[in-house]
Amino acid sequence: MVNYKPSIKEIAVSFSNGNFELAFPYLSENITWNIIGENVLTGKTDVIANCQQTAAYFKSVQTNFITDHIIVADNKVVVSGTAEFIKDGRRINFISACDVYEFNGNHVLEKISSYCISDKK
């Protein structure tokens, strides 16, 4: 049996699209997730807890994620795109986002910087 190891690009894109579980085995124990202007999470436990809370919200609404750009350079991945959230047939939020992922040389995710701009319309 061959063990599949996702690329840093696959880990980053999955995380940006709300499929957090794929990234969990690759999170540093000391990871920092800076959600710019909102919150800074430090440590694997806090990051996973936030992911689980966010995933529960995603299950309560219809989500439409669109990835516009993916840039991979050295041990960094940048993912930009949009997320639309719909409940009861009505748009309740629309976000333009850019996530910057920084991995170490051992395929471990050490830092995430997330820029999320909500369209108030």
**What separation in angstroms does the CA of 61 have from each of 48, 57, 86, 93, 118?**
20, 7, 6, 10, 16
CB-CB contact of 95 with 16 (8 Å): no
SS3 for 50? Answer: helix
Q: Does domain 8-118 have CATH number 3.10.450.50?
A: yes
CB-CB contact of 115 with 49 (8 Å): no
Mean pLDDT of 98-111: 96
Mean pLDDT of 14-40: 96
What percent of the chain clears pLDDT 70, i.e. is strictly above it?
Answer: 97
What confidence score (pLDDT) does residue 37 get?
Answer: 94
- For 53, phi then psi, to 5°, come to -65, -45
pLDDT higher at 46 or 120: 46
